[in-house]
Copies of this chain bind each other. A is one copy, B any other.
Amino acid sequence: MSEMNRAWVLDHYPDGMPTADCWRMEERARPAPGDGQVLARSIYLSVDPYMRGRISKAANYAAGVQIGEVMHGGAVAEIAESRHPDWKPGDLIETMGFGWREWAVLDPATEGPNGLRRVDPALGPIHAYLSYLGMPGITAWIALERIGALQAGETVLVSAASGAVGQVVGQIAKDAGCRAVAVASSPEKLAWCREIGFDAGVDYRAEADRLEDAIREACPDGIDVFFDNTAGPIHDAAMKNLAQNARIVICGMVANAGTFDQPDMGERHLRRILVARARMEGFLIFDHMARWDDARRALAAMAADGRLKFKTDVLDGIEHMPQAFINLLTGQNFGKQLVQVSEDPAA
Contact = CB atoms under 8 A, between A and B. Distances in A.
Interface in A225-257: 228, 231, 235, 250-253, 256
A268 B264 contact: yes
A287 B280 contact: no
B282 A274 contact: yes
Contacts of A250: 270, 273-274
A192 interface: no
Secondary structure of the A contact surface, majority rule: mixed
A285 to B, nearest CB: 11
Nearest to A246: B282
A278 interface: yes
A245 B273 CA distance: 19
Given A274-B250, A282-B278, A265 B264 contact: no
A279 B281 contact: yes
A336 to B, nearest CB: 21
A216 to B, nearest CB: 13
A309 B251 CA distance: 42
A87 interface: no
Given A265-B268, A267-B264, A268-B268, A275 B60 contact: yes
A284 interface: yes
Contact of A270 (B264, B267, B277, B287): B264
B271 A256 contact: yes
Contacts of A306: none
B61 A270 contact: no
A277 B267 contact: no
Nearest to A272: B282
Contacts of A256: 271
B282 A276 contact: yes
A267 B263 contact: yes
A266 interface: yes
A13 interface: no
Please indicate which of the listed interface residues A266, A271, A274 has the most CB atoms of chain B within 10 Å of its own CB. Answer: A274
A292 interface: no
Contacts of A231: 268, 270-271
A310 interface: no
A271 B264 contact: yes
Given A59-B275, A273-B280, A279-B282, 7 more contacts: A253-B270, A253-B271, A253-B274, A264-B269, A265-B266, A274-B282, A274-B283
Interface of A: 59-61, 228, 231, 235, 250-253, 256, 263-271, 273-284, 287
- The 3 tightest CB contacts between A and B, nearest first, are A274-B282, A273-B282, A279-B281
26 contacts: A60-B275, A61-B274, A61-B275, A228-B270, A231-B268, A231-B270, A231-B271, A235-B270, A250-B270, A250-B273, A251-B274, A256-B271, A264-B267, A264-B271, A266-B268, A268-B268, A270-B282, A273-B281, A274-B282, A274-B283, A274-B284, A275-B284, A277-B282, A277-B284, A277-B287, A278-B282
